[in-house]
Structure formats: C-alpha cells, structure tokens
Structure 1
Amino acid sequence: MNDESSPVRPLGSDSERPGLTVDPQADVGSPALALALATGDRAAVGEALRDDAVVVPILDRGDGTPQIQVFPTPEGSVKPYHLHLFSSTQTLGEFLGDAPDRAFSLRRRDSLAPFIKRHGDALQQIVIDPAGPSHVTLGVDETLALLDPQPPADDPTGLFDETGAGISGEALHALGTVEDPGGYRGIGIEMNLPDHWAIIELDEPEQRERQIREIVKQQTVKLSDRSAPLRRDLREKMIEVADKAEAAGGKAMAYLLLPGQEATLALNVTLYWHDLGPEAGSASHLQRIQDRLGANPGPDDALTRTETLSGPFLRHIRLTHGSEEVGGQDVPLLLIDYWAEAPGKQSVARLAFSTPHVGIRDEMLRLTDKVLFSTEWILGRPSEDAPTDAAPEAGPAEPGPATPAPATPSPAGV
C-alpha cells in the first residue's frame, strides 16, 4: 500500500510488466463502451464490458511488477476503495490530470472479473469514466452480473461452456519471455473456483483440518446429533485422502458442494504441481507424459491434446471403480485428468477430477473444462542467486502476476 498521503493505492497483483504510458488518444479503448455511456444505456454498458477491452490504471508496486490501482473512497464510506475503469486513454488522461503515475493496461472481463471477485469486500463501487459527463456507477455484484452472462436455464450447475478466455497484452508479453534467460516461467497455478466449491489447502496442515471439518459440517447439516460417529469417520477418511494427495505432490483439493434435485452432485478435484527441471533431449515433459498415457490405453480411455496461446494441455478420460477399503469396489468412477505444461516448460500441472456420475459424462466434462479454462498460471522470474540450469525448486522465484492457463486467444489478441 502507499502511504496515507497518496491519492491512489494498489490492490492485488494483476499484471506482468510495466504498463503503457497514457497517451490521450480516444481510439485506444472501447468505442462501444463510450457510446453506451453517452446514451446512458446500462445494458449496452454491460455488453461492452463483456465483449471489449477496458482501460485500467495501474501502478508499479516497487519490484518491477505493476498492479491495478484503486482509489480511496470519501470519509465515512462503508468500504475503503473505488475501482475506476475507463472507456479510452483519453478519459483516463482527463481523470489523472497532472498525476505523475500515468500507466494503464487493457483488460478483458476474463482477468477483470476474477480481480473484482477477489477484492470485492474492499470495493465500494466500480465507476466508469469518473471524470466524464456520462460516468456510470455500478455496485460490485451488479458489475459481476454484467461481466458474467446468465447461464442457460437448463444448466443446473450455473456453469456453462464458454471457454474463449482472453489473454491480456501484458500476459502475451510475459509468455513471450519464457525462452529468454531470466525470463518469466510458470511457478504455480491458481484455480479460480466459484463459491460452491470448497477448497482444502493441502500444504497447510492446520488450515487443511479446519477446512475438512467445515466441509463435513456443511454436508451433514441435516443429520441429527446421533450421526456424530459418521461425521468423525468422514473427517478421518478425508484427512487420510488429503494426506496421501499432499504426499504425492498435491497442492490443493476442492469439492463441489452444489445440491442437485434429489442428491448432491459429487465431483472433486486435486491440483498437483510437478517441478521437473529443464527438458532432457528433444521431447518435452508433456510429450513424455502423452507417450506414457497413450502406450496402453483402456477400452474406455480417451486422450486428447489441445494447443493454446498459453501452452498445450492433455485431457485424459478413463473409467474405474471406487476403493475396496470403503466398500466402493462396485461404484463406477469417471476420472478426468488435465495435464498442462507451464510456461518455461520446466513444470507440469495436473488437475485430477473424480466423479461417480458416469451417466452424465458430457455434463461432467463440460463442467471440468470450465474449471480448467478458469485457471491462471502464476508467473515468476528465477532468483538471481539460483543457477540458471537449476530446477524451479532449487531457488526462490520472484513472483509475478497471473495469466490465463490454458486459454484460447480472443479475436483482438488482448
């Protein structure tokens, strides 16, 4: 945070490199958003926010990585900050006046919506073109509703297949440095899961146990006190599963806690992160994984590879049965694994999904695909103290902002 005298404060890390300097040109931004503001058409404002890039002011946080600016609210406000968005660099320049910080970034809803969700508790309002005669003020929930179109009425999950995530210009720049010595590389992956997913942090033992207790409590809320032994057994089993996942390189687990019409929809995912070091030979780490998975396919296996701007990924689908330890040997399970090559090609992330709903395979794939395309690579630069040929875990990396992990490019390339 800046000191108390600063008129502008940063909130969250959300970019990869210093932004562009504001040049007051009306043609840099969204003409559709400017027109919607001029006509006072809030529906058109929402459409422009969904379809176009919006100008966002940014600050350098001091370590060479910029982040979105937020502005203090008047004294007495319920929340401390406003988020200001702009239809063009011209309206941003008019707002900044003589302010020395004049950098900006172009953002699409795919990076803007997660930022607002993460920091919504601190945002009083979102104001578009605050210095203009046709400014529009939106609440946090209203903005998120405008950024996220309503799902089809027949989609019981509230998630629909819209995987055309955009990649910002800053992200493209960072991704373009992964082949350079000292350039950015993937050091982690972030799952941006909706509220109805319960997350367990596997690398935080105390927090992990608290999160498991909360999940069990939520899932058994309708049971009587006489079900205490069942709750205890369920907690112990979940802790055992979490311990095994953590020992195998798991970073996080998540359970879908979305009630269905007659029963809870069962789906869980474990995030694994594998630091494999520099590639050896001509084959990439992901290619070696693909060769291994495709060597002895089962009769119901399906292995596909997809190339995206932020790297390739594999989707491996197979059928199996539950564990004999809990009497689940007769329960069919649908397993869906996504293997994604991190930028820099020294690490591989794996999202491993499991569900007993084999009868609605297509619906489950639609949901898991959506989860994959909501993830973001966490980018960083290798430490100057670490050997350049060392594996990622050999030395700390300078953390950088996130960029969409396997995402398809937007038409404008922003």
Structure 2
Amino acid sequence: MTLTRASRPLSAGVGNRNDQTRRHNLSTLLTMLHHGGAQTRAQLTRQAGLNRSTIGALVTELADLGLAYETDPQDSGLVGRPSPLVHANEKVVAITVNPDVDAITIGLVGLGAVLHKRIRFETAAVPTVRETVNVVSAVLAGMRTELEAQFRVVGVGVAIPGLVNSNDGTVLLAPHLGWRDEPVAAPLADALGFATRAANDAGLATVAESLYGSGRGVHDLVYLNGSASGIGGGVLAGGSMLRGSQGFAAELGHTLVNSRGERCHCGKTGCLETEVNLDRLLAVLGRDSLGLDELDELLLNETLAPDVRAEVDRQLDVLALAIGNFVSVFNPESVVLGGFLGSLYEANPERLRAAVRELTLGSLGETLRIDRAQLRSRLLTIGAAELAFGDLLADPAGTAF
C-alpha cells in the first residue's frame, strides 16, 4: 500500500555560491543535532564555528522545514539569558527493515536515533524477497493511520545479512537467506512508495555503534555482529569504513579458526561463523529461536546448566582466537560485539578478555578494549535508519519527502 510518493533528493550544488554555503551549513547543523542530540544555540555556534546570527537563521530555516524545533532554555546558573535548546525533529522518521532466516524486523526511527517502534515478525521459513515485501507492506498498512497522523517518512533503510550493491540495492549474495542477484530496494520502493536503500547489516551496525554507542569517538575499531544468519563484521580504520575494491571488505565471519571443523556455506571449512554459532547455543538451550533480550536472560543466569556453560566457554575461546587475529591485522583500539555475540560475551567476559590477551601479538592485547554494543537489540534498526537519512542529512533544503 502506497502511503506517499517516494522522495527525490535534489542537488546541493544547485544555485549560487551563497546558496551552496547555506545548504552546506544546514547539512552541518542538522547532522550535529541528529548525531549529537539536543544542544543550545550557543553550543551549536561554538561547534560549527559560525556566528550567532548565522546559527539563528539556520535554526529558523530548519524549523520552517519541519526538521528541528526549540524548547524553553534551561537555567544554567550563569549570568545572562540562557540559550534555547534546539532539537532534531524526532517525528521525521525512517522505516527500517531487517530480514533474517527466522524473522523480519520492521522499525520506525526518528531523527536523533529515537526508536519509536520495532516489530519482529517471526517467519515459519526463511523468507523470500517477495515474502519480505509482502510482510513489510502489511505491517505498514496496519500502521497507516498512525504514520499519516504523527510522522513524516523520509525513506526506507534495509539491513541485509549478505553482500549488497548499495548503489542499486541489489543483493549479490545472502547465502543464509538463499538470495542471489536479487533486487531488494526496488520492489520495496515500488510497494511502499518511499525511497529505499539497502546495505550489509554488519556495516550498518558498525556505523550506528560508532555514532551512538560503544564506538563513539573511536577511530580504529573492529565490529563483529552475530545473528541467525552467521557473523558479519565491519572495520573502521582511521575513522573511515574499510570497504575494499568492490565494497565487500570485512567478511570476518569467514576467518579460518578450525581447519578440522565444519564445512561452511561459503565452501571453506572451519570458518568462524560455523564454530561460533547461534544455532549451537540454541541447541544446548533447548530452543528453536530466541530474541536477543530473551537470550540475554538465559545466558546471564548464574546457574547455567553444565552443557550450556561448556558450549558458551567453547565459543568464547574460538571467538578469542579470531579476535587475536583481527588485532594483529587491524590493530584496533576497540573490538565491539553485537547481536548474540554480545550476549555470549556477557556470559563470561573475563574469560574472553584473558584469552584475547594471551593470543595477541606482543602487548597489543593489553590496551585493547572489548565492549558489548550499547545499542543492543536496536543496533541494526538504528544502522538501517542512518542509511535512509543519508540524503536528508546531506541536503536538508533540497530533499523532497
């Protein structure tokens, strides 16, 4: 069901030099509010390096565009009139989609990474692209009144567990889903009426965690995401995402950890994702599927059954071996663990830290931080939203939606 016409970003280069500067400054200001939260005009003035009158004009324009608003100033205790707080408008939202082997998760995220809603629709079998489109269409049809009354939708971001051509939203290969050379963004855009973009889920999670979570302010980071589809990764090197010549770098789940292990779907034997595996955890827990919050509750129980504890520790030891390799290759400041890997880590964090220190080259492991992703179950939803917000943040005045 079509809710509105898909947005068409306009060029920020249109117009004279003054117009280009204004649009660039609008982009800077909205991005600061979106990533940094509510701030006073005085704070924005200092951070943007612009004068007060320019900031005032930009805030007014963002408010006129419906992208920001101000609230009464807070009493700072300082002499003089306190500055109003400027907020990104959380009612401007992105729809997010994350298909996996056992569920399709649909989210609604506002500017400022405000999570309004997340719906996990469990599937009886691995969903096809068509089934994914149908499920998302049906869920949004049920939300139509709410969407039209309360929100402005800027677009759709799709997080895919596989290799994705982010230029056209085609999935080149998502082996666990059985998708190969499948257009995903185009059929969703046609069905929903919103501009749609798709990218690899672990890459999007890396972006989200570096902006809003454990990786904030970290320039050299390895992110590992564990889901029902396996293990994906993302690497920040000097503050930039490592992409590779074709954009498919950091497939860290296919690192060799056991030459006598199981055969992986990729054709190799003993990949990380065959040894550190959600299905193996679920098997010893006696469950077919679990949400991340439920998995947390089970694994953080101090009285784990002996077979569960043994499997948790085995997987932690294998994960430590892989992390030791990543530390030698990338020399990160921090390793962040998301998805079920975060739950696994929390079940026995000191075991993993000690094993990594033992397995890293020289003293590299001594200064390494290992953190759980702070965004937890929101991670892929927030990451997919960043994808959808991209055009708006780049040119607030030139993006029609």
TM-score tier, shorter chain, comes to: under 0.3
TM-score (ref. length: structure 1): 0.27
Tell me which protein shows more helix as a share of its residues.
2
TM-score (ref. length: structure 2): 0.27
